[in-house]
Amino acid sequence: MSEIWWSLPLTLIVFFAARTLAARVKMPLLNPLLVSMAVIIPLLLVTGVSYERYFAGSKILNDLLQPAVVALAFPLYEQLHQIRARWKSIIIVCFIGSLVAMFTGTSVALWMGASPDIAASVLPKSVTTPIAMAVGGSIGGIPAISAVCVIFVGILGAVFGHTLLNAMGITTKASRGLAMGTASHALGTARCAELDYQEGAFSSLALVICGIITSLLAPFIFPLILALWG
């Protein structure tokens, strides 16, 4: 099935227009990714263009996802002095956050009657997409469903995360960044970076650490959760 030439320019135009709108109208619901999805999905349905053709035409954006994650190392370098001073607390926070994310998502899925493959797909919902798809597939999940869960969780975090942190009275930039990166991966990190450079640095740090922890522990955590629910 051939690609369509206009999918890449359409994606870029819609995203940057949504980003401009979000910068002018300060509303959490006007998240650029959420607005882009709200525009492009109905357009594809109306024109009858399949997702496969649309994806093939804009595949270069997907290929840039992993280099973009690597690029998050730069703000980490800028905050290296603070990271060195707090590395024990950071590791503990990310470790606990990763465990909670894996246990809660998978347990809720099983409690609602999901099959083991769907539950495995949900488990890595709080890490960035490339890692989540690899982890989900390695434990018997469906990578495509893992990607959808990641996007859904990321949008929720980017839209409502800071509102929740403000309501809880959490004002420390390091704490806010770690919380967003642990729960909402790259989308939460992007939102943090827009608001505060230091907050974005700690969020990107949590994103990387939680990705590593989830990758290492998921093959052991998932059978344990299944045994507890069995």
What tens digit of pLDDT does each residue of 77-122 get? Answer: 776 777 788 888 888 999 999 999 999 989 999 999 889 999 999 9
No. of H helices and E strands in the chain? 13, 0
* Helices assigned H by DSSP within 112-141: 116-122, 129-138
DSSP letter (8 states) at residue 5: T
**Are 158 and 190 contacting, i.e. CB atoms less than 8 angstroms apart?**
yes
Neighbours of 32 (CB within 10 A): 22
In this predicted structure, what is the pLDDT of residue 79?
67
pTM: 0.76
Q: What's the pLDDT tens digit per position in 171-228?
A: 888 889 899 989 888 788 878 877 887 888 888 888 888 888 999 999 999 999 999 8
Q: For residue 137, give both structure tokens.
A: 């597939």
**Are 65 and 130 contacting, i.e. CB atoms less than 8 angstroms apart?**
yes
